[in-house]
Structure 1
Amino acid sequence: MYKSLFSVSLIALALAAPAAQAHQAGDILVRAGAITVNPDADSSSVKVDRGGLAGTDLGGKATMSSDTQLGLNFAYMMTDHLGIELLAATPFEHDVKIKGTVLDAANGKLGTLKHLPPTLSLVYYPLDAKSAFQPYVGGGINYTWIFDEHVGSGASAAGFDNFRAKNSWGLAWQIGADYMLTDNLMINAQARYIDIDTTAYVDNTALGVRAKVDVDVDPFVYMVGLGYKF
């Protein structure tokens, strides 16, 4: 009898636990995990915009590699269903490659760059605040700060130098979900699409020209990790 009562009590506690694990107004959520930026890059052709060959279209396209870093989310629940969230991360590093230009020396790895993508979003949680499972959708604005650009060794040997890219403002959209493991600890998964547009420039001192390419980076961003509710 006591064993049966104990089992029933455990089941009752398990069923009741999610009610204490809700996201509520005033909660602060901190999440951390592995975050991957996977550029879906589409670029203009490479064009000479300065020097004796200005106006020359070299053709070709630019591509960017993916990278995974430590991702961080900080969220504040304004109501039981609306929160404001900041995405941060350790710096991402991407290889930038050029392919298909009429200038053979320009093809291949142009160089590398790093960026930070702080993103501020308004997030909506549609389910009842008592639910342990909390899916959400959100939208906001992203600022991508690009820095530490370097020309690759092969491009440098071909006379290219002074590689740089413009910072970017754009919109960002996300979906995600938290699942509360305890009153405070959660697991989290999220996916984002971020509008990142930049223009990259590189000089060729041997030819006395500068080339540029417009790149719609537009990455899909994925993160899986743990969170804690304060």
Structure 2
Amino acid sequence: MKIKSLSLAIISATALLSGAVQAYETGDIIVRGGLASVNPDVDSGNIYAGGVEQADQRVDVNNDTQMGLSLTYMVQDNIGIELLAATPFSHNLQGKGGLAGLNDFAEVKHLPPTLTVQYYPMDNSSAFQPYVGVGLNYTIFFSEKFINGADATFGSLELDDSLGLAAQVGFDYEIAENWSLNAAVWYMDIDTTGTFKNANGTGDYKIDVSLDPWVYMAGVAYRF
């Protein structure tokens, strides 16, 4: 009798546990939100003035943290499609090399919508759900302007939008029914060309910059 009672108790506990850890299945929608930090790994060319390269006149770009949001639809138990969005990121352009004395001389905002196909290797009974993804990033630059006195000398700053590859790794860890902790990192291939003029509208300047940022996000996830 005691053995039978113990067996029933184990079976019941196992059923309850497996019900509590019910992870992702086909048709699920997962919304993730948290803080997202964009950390550019800058490789800057030199500025060209009137088509002539200016030796050792390069730029750097600082980091920024904003609210990040992503939406994943599970097309299969182990395959999801994710769209990453965020509130606009704002970065300062800083002088480098021969331009180091300029410090922060320009400001630009951008949005980095990124579409990835994700693979979840774990069984859907696992509370820990790591994933990897590959896809495309389209970065939209806007509100470009010179600051800190540089606007008295230069104007008409524009950065080209960028289309490039993206890769990610991340995980969810279920803490309650439908709720998980989330952390993820992306690497994005972002290249842009900046153009600008003198403040009076004359002159042509150009610079090519590879931003290629690492993007880190930590927050929570909710499964519908």
TM-score, reference length from structure 2: 0.89
In 2, Cα distance between the equivalents of 1:89 and 1:187?
Answer: 18
Q: Which residue of 2 aligns with 1:80?
A: 77
Q: Deviations over 1:81-102 (max 9, x none)?
A: 000000000000000112223x
Using the TM superposition, give the Cα deviation of residue 14 of structure 1 relative to its aligned residue in structure 2, in angstroms.
Answer: 9.5
Mapping of residues 89-168 of structure 1, within 5 Å: 89-101=86-98, 107-157=102-152, 159-168=153-162
Using the TM superposition, give the Cα deviation of residue 58 of structure 1 relative to its aligned residue in structure 2, in angstroms.
Answer: 4.1
Tell me whether 1:191 sits opposite 2:206 in the alignment: no
Aligned partner (choices 176, 180, 184) of residue 182 of structure 1: 176
Paired residues, what number?
A: 217
Cα contact 1:24–1:129 (8 A) shared by 2: yes
One-letter identity of the residue aligned with 2:83:
L
Structure 1's consecutive aligned runs of 4 or more residues displaced over 3 angstroms after TM superposition are 17-20, 205-208
Q: Which residue of 1 aligns with 2:32?
A: 31
Cα contact 1:143–1:169 (8 A) shared by 2: yes
In 2, Cα distance between the equivalents of 1:70 and 1:13?
Answer: 39
Which stretch shows the higher mean deviation, 20-29 or 80-89? 20-29
Q: Deviations over 1:150-173 (max 9, x none)?
A: 11132123x111111100000000
One-letter identity of the residue aligned with 1:167:
D
Unpaired runs of at least 5, structure 2: 1-5
Aligned partner (choices 210, 214, 224) of residue 220 of structure 1: 214
TM-score, reference length from structure 1: 0.87
CA 114–80 in structure 1, closer or farther in 2 if over 3 Å, else same: same
Cα contact 1:109–1:155 (8 A) shared by 2: no
In 2, Cα distance between the equivalents of 1:205 and 1:65?
Answer: 25
Alpha carbon RMSD of aligned pairs, Å? Answer: 2.3
In 2, Cα distance between the equivalents of 1:16 and 1:170?
Answer: 43
Unpaired runs of at least 5, structure 1: none
